[in-house]
Structure 1
C-alpha cells in the first residue's frame, strides 16, 4: 500500500509517477474527467492487465488542480485484511499514529471540511470493505471525490462505472501500410515497448502485417502486449506469433467460465512461464509468497533450495527482470541504494497457482518467509542501539507488506502466535516511526486474543500494546493492560519487561504532569535495564529522566544526565537518543529563563536534524514547539506565527489529542496570544495558514532555517514570477501561453518548475501563496 508520499516514486500530488508514457487513452482520460465532474464516485472496471491503474493515475494527475486539498492514493494489492483499509486511507491522508478514537471517525473528521480526490487502486479482493467505507465517507464528507479501480463495481449508490476497454487493434490480413496500423494504440504500445528492449525497432513495411496480427491476437490488452514485446530481446515478431499459436493450442482446455480476455491473458502468462528456465520458474513460483516487494537477500533466503541453489538466485532474478516478470526499483532512501523487485499482481497470482498443487509447498514457503522477516526483526532489535538505526527502520518500513504477511501466517498457523508477538513488538520504536500506532495495536490485539484463553499473553506484548495506547492518548484504557503486563512479568520472571513497564508508567506520569513520580519511575527503569546489560534501554530511560529534570527546572541535573547520555550514544554511534539529548538541553535552557539568547532554539533545531531521518514526528513536534516559542520570545512574531501553523499540522499528522506538550502548554498559550496581539488577527492568521499549509519537507526546512518565509519568491525567475501571478489570477496554461506569447508546452513547463521550486502540491496552493505575498 502506497500513499501520497510513497517511497516507490511519487509526484508532488500523491500520484505514482509513470516511467513510460500512457498510450492511446486520451479519449478515456477525457471521459473519466467528465464523469468525475458529474459524480463523486467513479469506478474503473475491466479485466486484469487492461491498464486500469495506469489510467486512474493519469486521470488523477490531470485533475489535481480541481482539488484544493490534493490527490491521495491508496494501493490495495498487498493488503489482505479489510480491517486495515481505514488505516491505509489514514496513511494516505498523512494521519499517522491516530488517536484512540475509532479510526473511521478520525478519517471522517479529517475529510469533512476538505475537498480532495481519493484514489483506491485494486479493490476487488476487498470489495465489501471498500464499498462500505467509500459509501460512509462520501455521505459524511461532501467535498470528497473517489476514483477506484476494481475488477467489479463497488455497488454503491451514485457510483459511475466506466469499463476500461482493451486498446484498439487493426484487423489482421490485407495490405496495410506501417503508417496506417501505427495509428492504432495497441500497435503504438508494442512499438514503444519493443524499442525499449531492442533499440531501433520500428513498425515498418516488412513487419507491419505480423505486428497487426500479434496485437489483434492479444486482443489489445496492454499487459499482454508488454509481455510479448519483452520477448523481442531474443525473438522476431513471426517467431513470437508461432510460439503463441503453440501455446494457445496447448491451453484450450482452460476454464470455459472465464472471460475470453482472461483466458488470453492467462495463456500469455503461461507462455512466458514456459519460456523461463527451470530455475527462473522456481523463483517465479516461490517469490509469489512475497507481498509488496522484496530484495535479493530475501529472495535468497526464502526461495533457494530444491533445484535453485542460493548462488543461482541472482541469475534467476536477472532472467525474470529481463522477461518483465519482475520489475526492478531502486530504494534511494538507503545509503548507496538497494535494488528491490516486485511482481504485477496478475503475475504473482499465476506463480502462486503453480504452487497450489504441490503438497505443503505453500505452507513451507510461508514459514520460510516468516522466518526470514522474523530474523530481520530480531537483528534490527539487537542492532538498534548503534550506527544503523535509520537504515534498519527504513528497510523495515519498505518491507511492511511482508511484515503483514508474516503476521497473518502466525495468526493462521496454530502455535505460532508467540513468534508473531516478537514480530509485532520489535524493534520497540517501529510503530512510532512508521506512524501506525493504531495498526500496531491491531496486530497485538489479534495476537493476544489468538493465544490460550487462560493466558493473558507475554508481558512484553501486553506492555507494548499499552504503550501504543498511551502514545495515542488512551491512558485510561492503557493502565489496566499495564497492570496485566506487570502481573505477567512477575509470573514469567521477565525483568526486562518489568523495567519497560516502569518506563511506560513514567511516560504517563510525565504527560499527566506528575513530574516527581515520573522522575522516580524513569530512574528505576534505567537501573533495571542497566543491571540486565541493556545499555540502549538504560540510556533512553536516563534521557527521559533528564527531560523531566529540565521540565522541573533542575537545569544542572538535566545537563549532567544529558552529558552522560551523550557520552554513551557517541560511543555507540547511536543517533535517536543522541538527538533527543539536544531537546533536553533546549528544554533546560528554556525553563532556566534563557529566552533572550538563541540557545534553546539552536539546540531544538539540532534535535530536529537528528530526528528527521527517523520520521519521529512526535518528538519533532516537541522540538518545533520550543523553536516557535523561542521565536516569539525573541520578538520575531511573523516567524513564530508560521511555526505555530506548522505545529498545528504536525500534531494533526500525529493524530494525538495534544496541541502542545503538557509541560509547555501554558507558555504555548501565552506566546501564541502575544504573537497574535502583536501582528493583529489578519496578519497572524495569514502567517499561521502559510505555515499550516506547508508540505512536511518544506516545513522542516523552514524550522531549521534552511528556507526563509520569502524563499520561493527569491528562487523564481522574472518569467516564473509572471507565470505565478497569472496562475494566481486564475488563468489556465493555455490562457497563460496566449497572454505571454509562448507555446502551451512552455507554459506547462514553467508551471511545473514553479511548483517544484516552491514545494506546493497544486495551483491552488501556489495561488494562495502568491496572493498572500501581494498582501504582505
Structure 2
C-alpha cells in the first residue's frame, strides 16, 4: 500500500505530492518558515547549530556552571528550572558555548518560546536540526533516525508551556539516541525518568547584615551584574562608599534575580541608586526598560511573571494571589488557612514546581515557604483586583486566634504555639490591623498579646506601647482579654523600670483574675505584683504574694509556673542582699524547667544563677552560666543583652578578656538605649563597678576601639562573638610564620576606629584595593571571620 503524503505543517493529506511538495497551502508554508526562524538566530547557521549570540557580558554563575558540567558528565537529561528572570537561558547558552568541543556532532539550540501549538514541538525541533520529518511515521522517529549514534547536545529553551509534548519527545530521543544529551530550560521540570533537576536561584549576594564596602561588593555576582549593566547606560557611574549600601540593598530587595537587576541598572541613566531603591516598591512599573531586541516576555518584569501566572490552573492562580497577601514566609498550616482549604500541600507543591514558590528549612525542621518579592507584588496586585485581600485577612485573624486563644488562660504560653507565632511574626500585623478595622476587639487583644510573646534577634520581646494602651482602652473588652493585656502591660513596664505603672497594671490583672477565679492566671498576676511590692520596699507583702502564687501554681500542677515564680523570687532575694536564700530557689527552678520546660525558658533562671555566682566572686561559674543562658535563647532570643552584661562582668572579674567585656557591654548598652530597657538598681550598680574597674586598667585607645566595635555589632553578631572560643594570641601578633606587620597592625587599628577602606586609603596615601588586601591578609593570618572580630583584636593589640 502506498502511503498518503501529508502536509508537514498541519498534517492534512496532500492531493498532489508530486515534485516534492511538502505543504498543502501557502499559509502552511509561511507558518513553517516562521517557526524555523524562531528557533534559529542566524539563517546561515553552520552544521553544528548556532547558539544565540549575546550582545553583553555573562556575569557570575561560576559555581552553577561547574555543577552543571558535573551533572552532564553523569546524566543525559538535565532540566534547568527557575523563576522568571533567573537567567536560565543565558546560563544554558554559556554552558553550550563552554562545551562545544565536547560534542563533535554539535550543540543544537531550539527556542520554543514562540511555539504555541503543543503538536508542533517535534516539527520545530526537526526544523532546527535540519531534519525533514517523515510523512509516514511519527516525527520523533524521524529525528531519532537522523541523530542516531551521534554525540551531540540538544538545548531546548523555554519549555514550560509545552511540558507534556517536550517530555514525550525527549524521552523518545534519549531512548533511541544513546550518545545524545539534552539540557532543558523551563520554569517547571519535565518529570521524565532519569531527569536531573537543577534549580537556579538568586545571584550571589553579601550576607544580610555583613559590612560591605565599595571594594568588596563587586566580588558578589549580583552587585557586579548591576555595575556592568549600569555602566552600559552611564559610563561615568562607579561604586563608591556613598552608593555601595544602596546598590547592595537594591540587589537584595530584587531577590538577586538577574532580569530585575538588569532592568534596575538601566535606570541609572536617570536615577541614583538611592532613587531606584526608594521606588523599588513599585518595581513592576519601574522595571520596564529592556532593550528592544529582548524577548517580549522579558521586556518588563511584569511580562516575565505574567507568563508564568497564565500557565497556572485556576486553583493555583487563586493560591498564588492569596499567598501573596501574607507578605511573609508561611508554613503549610497558615497557607492552608489563607487558601481556604484543609490541606494546601498539593497547591504549594505545584507552585514550587513552577518556580513560583521557594521552600526553606526553618528552625527545628519546619518547612517554610515564600514568594520572591517581585512575584509577591504581582500576586498582590491581582489579589486586590479579585477581592482576595479582605478574605485572606479574615482567615489570618481566624488562624491567629486559633493559636493564641488557648494560651490566654495559661500562666505562660506553651512552646509550640510560640514557635508558630515566631515563624509568622509578620502576619500578626495583619491580624492587628484587620481586627481594629472591623471592631473585633477580643481577637484584637489576642493578636496584640501574641506580639508580646514573639522574639527574634532583630526584635526583642515587647509590644509597642501606643498599641498596647489603645487596646486596653477599649470598653468592649471581656474581662479575660483585659486581664491578659494588663499582664502584658505590667511586664512591659517592669522590663523598662516603670514600676509605678507595672504595679498598677499588675493590680488590675490580679483583680480581674480573682473575679474570674482562674488559679493559673491569678498566680501569673501575683508574680508580677509581688516583684513590684518588693521593689517599693514592702518585702513582707511581696514575699506573701510570692508564697500565694507558688501555692496556686503547685495546686494546679503547673511546673513551668512554679519554676518561673521561684526564679522571680530568687532574683528578688538576691537584689535585697540574700544570695544564700536565693540559691536553692533558683536551683529548683532550673531543675523544673530542664525537666518540663522549653529551652529558652532556662534563660532567666541561668541568668539569676550567674548573677548569684558573681555575688560570690565565682567568676568562672558565672561565665559558664551566662554562656549557657545565651545558648538556651538562640532559638527564641529573650533578653540576651542581660546575659552579655553578665558574661562581661564575669570576664572583668577574671581579667581574662577586658576588650571582649567592653565590646559586649557596649552592645548591651546600645540595645537597652534603643528599646528603653532599664536595669534594676542592683544590676546597674554591678555594671557601674565593673565598668569602672575595666576602664581603669585598659589603655584608652583599646577601650575606645572595643566599645566602638561593640556598638556596631548586631545582637546576633555579639552573641556569636560571646560564644566563640578565641585563641589566645601573643601580644606581638603570633609566631614568625603569622607575624603581623606594623602597616597591617596600623590598618587594623583604623578599621577598629570605624573608618572605611577609602578613608583609610586617603589617610595613608594608598588605594582602597590595597587596604582591602592588607585587611584580608591580617584576617587570614589570625583566623578571623569578620571585620568586627578584627576590630576587637585591634583593640587588644594596638595602642
TM-score by length of 1: 0.59
Aligned to 2:430: 405
Aligned to 1:775: 798
Aligned-pair distance for 1:12?
1.1
Aligned to 2:545: 521
User: Which of 604, 623, 643 is the equivalent residue of 2:661?
Assistant: 643
Aligned to 1:129: none
User: Which of 279, 297, 303 is the equivalent residue of 1:224?
Assistant: 303
- Measured on the aligned residues, the alpha-carbon RMSD in Å equals 5.4
Aligned to 1:633: 653
Asked if 1:370 corresponds to 2:406, the answer is no
Give the whole-Å Cα distance in 2 for the aligned partners of 1:774 and 1:58: 44
Q: Secondary structure of 1:458's match?
A: helix
Give the whole-Å Cα distance in 1 for the aligned partners of 2:260 and 2:779: 24
Q: Cα distance 1:746–1:585, how it changes in 2: closer, same or farther (>3 A)?
A: closer
User: Which of 348, 370, 379 is the equivalent residue of 1:348?
Assistant: 379
Give the whole-Å Cα distance in 2 for the aligned partners of 1:151 and 1:578: 41
Q: Cα distance 1:52–1:651, how it changes in 2: closer, same or farther (>3 A)?
A: farther
Give the whole-Å Cα distance in 2 for the aligned partners of 1:727 and 1:407: 50
Aligned to 1:25: 229
Q: Secondary structure of 1:330's match?
A: strand
Q: Deviations over 1:105-130 (max 9, x none)?
A: xxxxxxxxxxxx99899xxxxxxxxx
Contact 1:694 1:760 in 2 (8 A): no
Give the whole-Å Cα distance in 2 for the aligned partners of 1:524 and 1:542: 12
Aligned to 2:3: none
Is the radius of gyration larger for structure 1 or structure 2? 2
Aligned to 2:585: 561
Give the whole-Å Cα distance in 2 for the aligned partners of 1:8 and 1:682: 31
Contact 1:327 1:342 in 2 (8 A): yes
Q: Secondary structure of 1:614's match?
A: coil
Contact 2:503 2:532 in 1 (8 A): no
Q: Cα distance 1:722–1:224, how it changes in 2: closer, same or farther (>3 A)?
A: farther
Q: Secondary structure of 2:364's match?
A: coil
Give the whole-Å Cα distance in 2 for the aligned partners of 1:598 and 1:706: 15
**How do 1:49-64 residues align onto structure 2 when only pairs under 5 Å count?**
none
User: Which of 339, 345, 365 is the equivalent residue of 1:336?
Assistant: 365
User: Which of 466, 470, 475 is the equivalent residue of 2:494?
Assistant: 470
Q: Secondary structure of 1:523's match?
A: helix
User: Which of 276, 291, 313 is the equivalent residue of 1:277?
Assistant: 313
Q: Secondary structure of 1:612's match?
A: coil
Aligned-pair distance for 1:561?
1.9
Q: Cα distance 1:688–1:433, how it changes in 2: closer, same or farther (>3 A)?
A: closer
Q: Deviations over 1:57-95 (max 9, x none)?
A: 999xx9xxxxxxxxxxxxxxxxxxxxxxxxxxxxxxxxx
Asked if 1:670 corresponds to 2:689, the answer is yes
User: Which of 323, 327, 331 is the equivalent residue of 1:287?
Assistant: 323
Higher relative contact order (CA 8 A, sep 6+): 1
User: Which of 207, 210, 217 is the equivalent residue of 1:12?
Assistant: 210
Aligned-pair distance for 1:671?
3.2
Q: Deviations over 1:700-739 (max 9, x none)?
A: 3443462357599779996998996696588669999xx9
Aligned-pair distance for 1:417?
1.5
Contact 1:440 1:468 in 2 (8 A): no
Contact 1:463 1:481 in 2 (8 A): yes
Contact 2:458 2:715 in 1 (8 A): no
Give the whole-Å Cα distance in 2 for the aligned partners of 1:118 and 1:756: 36
Give the whole-Å Cα distance in 2 for the aligned partners of 1:692 and 1:545: 33
Give the whole-Å Cα distance in 2 for the aligned partners of 1:53 and 1:379: 47
Aligned to 1:623: 643
Aligned-pair distance for 1:363?
4.4
Give the whole-Å Cα distance in 1 for the aligned partners of 2:668 and 2:575: 22
Aligned to 1:653: 671
User: Which of 327, 343, 346 is the equivalent residue of 2:357?
Assistant: 327
Q: Secondary structure of 2:487's match?
A: helix
Aligned to 1:608: 630
Unaligned runs of 5+ in 1: 1-6, 63-116, 122-146, 154-162, 172-186, 188-210, 228-268
Give the whole-Å Cα distance in 1 for the aligned partners of 2:717 and 2:742: 23
Q: Cα distance 1:744–1:690, how it changes in 2: closer, same or farther (>3 A)?
A: closer
Q: Cα distance 1:724–1:672, how it changes in 2: closer, same or farther (>3 A)?
A: same
Give the whole-Å Cα distance in 1 for the aligned partners of 2:488 and 2:456: 11
Asked if 1:166 corresponds to 2:288, the answer is yes
Give the whole-Å Cα distance in 1 for the aligned partners of 2:512 and 2:259: 49
Give the whole-Å Cα distance in 2 for the aligned partners of 1:651 and 1:118: 33
Asked if 1:577 corresponds to 2:601, the answer is yes
Contact 1:605 1:627 in 2 (8 A): yes
**How do 1:394-543 residues align onto structure 2 when only pairs under 5 Å count?**
394-414=419-439, 416-426=440-450, 429-430=453-454, 435=459, 439-452=463-476, 458-509=482-533, 518-543=542-567
Q: Deviations over 1:730-753 (max 9, x none)?
A: 8669999xx999x99995995898
Q: Deviations over 1:200-241 (max 9, x none)?
A: xxxxxxxxxxx4xx25xx5x323534x3xxxxxxxxxxxxxx
Number of aligned positions between the proteins: 566
Aligned-pair distance for 1:413?
2.0
Contact 1:467 1:478 in 2 (8 A): yes
Aligned-pair distance for 1:409?
1.9
Give the whole-Å Cα distance in 2 for the aligned partners of 1:463 and 1:590: 31
Q: Cα distance 1:402–1:555, how it changes in 2: closer, same or farther (>3 A)?
A: same
Contact 1:22 1:54 in 2 (8 A): no
Q: Deviations over 1:415-454 (max 9, x none)?
A: x211221232248643698735564434433433444399
Contact 2:620 2:650 in 1 (8 A): yes
Give the whole-Å Cα distance in 2 for the aligned partners of 1:716 and 1:613: 42
User: Which of 725, 745, 770 is the equivalent residue of 1:706?
Assistant: 725
Contact 1:601 1:627 in 2 (8 A): yes
Contact 1:604 1:623 in 2 (8 A): yes
**How do 1:294-333 residues align onto structure 2 when only pairs under 5 Å count?**
294-305=330-341, 310=342, 313-324=344-355, 326-332=356-362
Aligned to 1:70: none
Q: Cα distance 1:703–1:436, how it changes in 2: closer, same or farther (>3 A)?
A: closer
Q: Deviations over 1:244-291 (max 9, x none)?
A: xxxxxxxxxxxxxxxxxxxxxxxxx3x544421122123224324423
Query: After alignment, is 395-404 or 702-711 more displaced?
Result: 702-711
Contact 2:779 2:790 in 1 (8 A): no
Q: Deviations over 1:644-682 (max 9, x none)?
A: 431232132143556754223334333332332233544
Give the whole-Å Cα distance in 2 for the aligned partners of 1:304 and 1:547: 48
Q: Cα distance 1:664–1:447, how it changes in 2: closer, same or farther (>3 A)?
A: closer
Give the whole-Å Cα distance in 2 for the aligned partners of 1:554 and 1:57: 67
Contact 1:596 1:634 in 2 (8 A): no
Give the whole-Å Cα distance in 1 for the aligned partners of 2:675 and 2:230: 44
Q: Cα distance 1:55–1:471, how it changes in 2: closer, same or farther (>3 A)?
A: farther
Aligned-pair distance for 1:328?
0.5
Q: Secondary structure of 2:476's match?
A: coil
Q: Cα distance 1:433–1:347, how it changes in 2: closer, same or farther (>3 A)?
A: same
Aligned-pair distance for 1:383?
10
Q: Cα distance 1:701–1:277, how it changes in 2: closer, same or farther (>3 A)?
A: closer
